[in-house]
Structure 1
């Protein structure tokens, strides 16, 4: 093999001059996007769980209110199932008792949502 053929072979085996650094640049853009996407998914999952807790707490409170338990007991039952910091309100409209649970979704300031759960039950003292 002559010297000219060896030089030509070395030139063909090298990377093209303009492609250096593309992997680093792509990783610098993709990794933060993946982290942001994962964070958004986790926030959505936490908000959905808190919404389910609000609905469950309202149902538990409405059942307790329908049994004619004291308002403090209804409040305690609803708060035990509600997310931390939730507000519980009770009302009675004729034969129906209504319990509303309101809570803020977990997350940073602009991503905070107000979650609500409401349940209504027929008061047992009106049946029969």
Structure 2
């Protein structure tokens, strides 16, 4: 019985360690994705790159790095980081998340704003 326990215990601990490391990587990826989405939304509203970096660090942690890309009206924020915590030595990968947003313009906001005058009537009439 002791021999079987001595053989099985390392295998059980290895599987447990892999499950914990996978869970830590999954949670880190979710944090990076949320930070990228929040950064892209803020960038689309007109925030500067310094503010985007602050939002990303607040949501994904101090070790997260962000990159802003502008492609016409499309904006993207790429966030990368490593797994933190006790599982970090087991997972040396760099995880990355990217989110796109369309730039909000003042013309589009003015067109989508509800009008206060009824249709067909002008304010001077």
| TM-score (ref. length: structure 1) | 0.76
Deviation at 1:127, TM superposition (A): 5.5
Alignment of 1:81-100 (within 5 A): 81-100=59-78
Q: In the alignment, what sits opposite 2:92?
A: 112
Partner Cα distance (1:74, 1:38) in 2: 37
Deviation at 1:79, TM superposition (A): 1.5
Q: In the alignment, what sits opposite 1:125?
A: 105
Q: In the alignment, what sits opposite 2:10?
A: 32
Structure 2 stretches of 5 or more lacking a match?
109-125
Task: Calculate the aligned-residue CA RMSD, in Å.
Answer: 1.4
Deviation at 1:112, TM superposition (A): 1.1
Deviations 1:66-125 (A, max 9, x none): 00012111111121111441111111110011100011124216x311111100000112
Partner Cα distance (1:82, 1:38) in 2: 25
Partner Cα distance (2:43, 2:103) in 1: 7
Structure 1 stretches of 5 or more lacking a match?
1-22
Q: Which has the higher helix share?
A: 1
Equivalent pairs counted in the alignment come to 105
- Asked if structure 2 preserves the Cα contact closer than 8 Å seen for 1:56 and 1:81, the reply is yes
Alignment of 1:39-78 (within 5 A): 39-78=17-56
Partner Cα distance (1:25, 1:127) in 2: 76
- Asked if structure 2 preserves the Cα contact closer than 8 Å seen for 1:50 and 1:83, the reply is no
Partner Cα distance (1:119, 1:127) in 2: 24
